[in-house]
Amino acid sequence: MSILLKPDDAGRTLSEEEISNQVVTLFLAGVETIASASGWALCVLALRPEIQQRLHHEIDTVLQGKLVEMEDLPKLPYTKGVILESLRMYPPGWLLTRMTTADVRLGDFDIPANTAIIYSPFLLGNQSGAFDEPDAFEPDRWGTQTLRLNAGSFVPFGDGPRKCIGDTFSMVEMAVMLTAIIARWRIEPRGTVLRPLERMSLLLTPRGLKVSLSARQPATEK
Ligand code: HEM
């Protein structure tokens, strides 16, 4: 808000309507996306107890029962891996668009200027060949394993000048949320079916899986 309210170098300010539009955009773009990405991570953790157990171990060891601080984040690589894997396999923005501004050759295709292009972070993350065993939810692939990250194959936040303005913020918000929940709760599935898409919709959101939570003590509070 302070940036939006501040005059630019030439002393110009945004109108109230422009500021209001920006705030609405930030809310619209920043709430459901995070909810969906976090929902996917929690569903996967419910279905994969061994991954949840490793996350419990990392969070208990590093945070020792306290809430996460900025300086803790680099010490939580497995947590980050869980978030990145969720975004790779289930990017909330699964279909994105671009308009070509000039004639361009893309792979085997000549595309004229002013063509609408649709591309999918979902397909790029799951079927582009950039990731070994793409069907496996494997948080470790983001750390120790060699990752063949072809430019543009991991784009849950889009890319280029229109890339999500909230990308870094989102990674921090999801880490704060995930560590706070996982430290104090054990998640169990009440079913086995997790459906990505029931019908065409703007966001890829988890459907069909109910989970239950049981309280746990972070390790150092026992
Ligand atoms: C996991 C969370 C999020 C995901 C997966 C996500 C994904 C995306 C994607 C795919 C785009 C389109 C980028 C493109 O076309 O290249 C986008 C745009 C945008 N996002 Fe996010 N987003 C997330 C969170 C947020 C948050 C928290 C905020 C605000 C605080 C935010 C604000 C925006 C805005 C304002 C745009 C429009 C940018 C523009 O058109 O110039 N997003 N986001």
From ligand 1's centre to the CA of 64, what distance in Å? 33
Atom index in ligand 1 nearest the CA of residue 97 equals 15
Q: Which residue has the tokens 């969070």?
A: 59
Confidence band for 209, pLDDT divided at 50, 70 and 90:
confident
192 or 158: whose pLDDT is higher?
A: 158
The whole-number average pLDDT for the span 137-153 is 74
pLDDT at res. 46: 94
Confidence band for 150, pLDDT divided at 50, 70 and 90:
low
Quote the strand ranges of 100-198, DSSP E: 104-106, 109-111, 116-119, 185-189
Q: How far apart are CA 187 and CA 197, in angstroms?
A: 23
From ligand 1's centre to the CA of 166, what distance in Å? 6
From ligand 1's centre to the CA of 34, what distance in Å? 10
Q: Which protein residues touch ligand 1 with a CB less than 6 Å away?
A: 25-26, 29-30, 33-34, 37, 91-93, 96, 156-159, 162-166, 169-170
Q: How far apart are CA 120 and CA 41, in angstroms?
A: 20
State CA 220 to chain mean position distance. Answer: 29
Round the average pLDDT of the chain to a whole number and report it.
90
Q: How far apart are CA 110 and CA 87, in angstroms?
A: 30
pLDDT at res. 70: 95
Between CA 132 and CA 17, with CA 92 as vertex, the angle to 5 degrees is 145
Atom index in ligand 1 nearest the CA of residue 121 equals 10
Confidence band for 148, pLDDT divided at 50, 70 and 90:
low
The whole-number average pLDDT for the span 26-55 is 94
Specify the residue with its C-alpha closest to ligand 1, atom 37.
164
pTM of the model: 0.91
Question: Which tens digits make up the pLDDT trace of 101-136?
Answer: 999 998 899 999 999 999 999 999 998 888 889 999
Amino acid found at 47: L
CATH architecture assignment, domain 15-92+122-221: Orthogonal Bundle (1.10)
**What kind and span of H or E run contains 88?**
helix 77-89
The whole-number average pLDDT for the span 176-189 is 96
Measure the CA dihedral 58/59/60/63, to 10°.
Answer: 120
Question: Which tens digits make up the pLDDT trace of 92-110?
Answer: 999 999 999 999 998 899 9
Substitution site in 97, 164, 173 for ligand 1 pocket (most atoms within 8 Å of beta carbon):
164
Confidence band for 221, pLDDT divided at 50, 70 and 90:
low
Write down the domain spans for the chain.
15-92+122-221
47 or 150: whose pLDDT is higher?
A: 47
Q: Which residue has the tokens 């459907």?
A: 207
Atom index in ligand 1 nearest the CA of residue 38 equals 1
pLDDT at res. 108: 94
Q: How far apart are CA 144 and CA 126, in angstroms?
A: 20
